[in-house]
Amino acid sequence: MDIYFWIVGFVIIVYGAIFISRRKLFIDRRYEFAIFILALYMVPVMMSLSINIYIFLLFILIVSFFRFKGSYTVSNINSEMFEQVLLSILNERNISYEKQKGAVALTGYGDKRITYKQSMNSIDANFKDIYELDLYKTLKEEIKNRIKLIEERLFPSTGLFYIVIGIVFIVFILFIREQSVCMWRF
């Protein structure tokens, strides 16, 4: 059973190491969330829990697939960098827009919005409003390609956060295991 906790801690550390690389990644939040749900899915397997837990986790996975449709995590950039790329693409394509705080409303498309929010050194970008438009795929791909060309580097605080969480998780499990072994000695 201990191997499961080591695997989960290791997965969190590897995820953090990907962010530490300082590469600019454009990650679909549905898949990002699915990885963590699948890691949680191992808990009932390792602990031989009820089938209800499996059904609950499967339900969360299905709901999250629809909830995060059109949502992306863009790593190792800040909101100013993302906004510059987005606005330059919209200007080049002559798409009218209204700049708002943490969003851009596409005025020529019924004020559909692209929202973005910075979290440490990553952006949570939400294209859900424009997901059904023909513009969505080309805009997303162009943003993805241009972000990779940005040479400015940020301190990878998100990666550091995940690495620390992974290490704390493993140390906590080792501590709990040691405490349970000590309790059985008496």
Distance of CA 45 to the CA centre of its chain: 25
Query: pLDDT tens digits for 31-85?
Result: 877 777 766 666 555 555 566 667 777 787 788 788 888 889 888 888 999 999 9
Give CA separation, 68 vs 73, 164, 178, in Å. Answer: 11, 26, 39
DSSP 29-86: HHHHHHHHHHHHHHHHHHHT--HHHHHHHHHHHHHHHHHTTTEEEEET--HHHHHHHH
pLDDT of amino acid 90: 94
The CATH code for residues 72-147 is 3.30.310
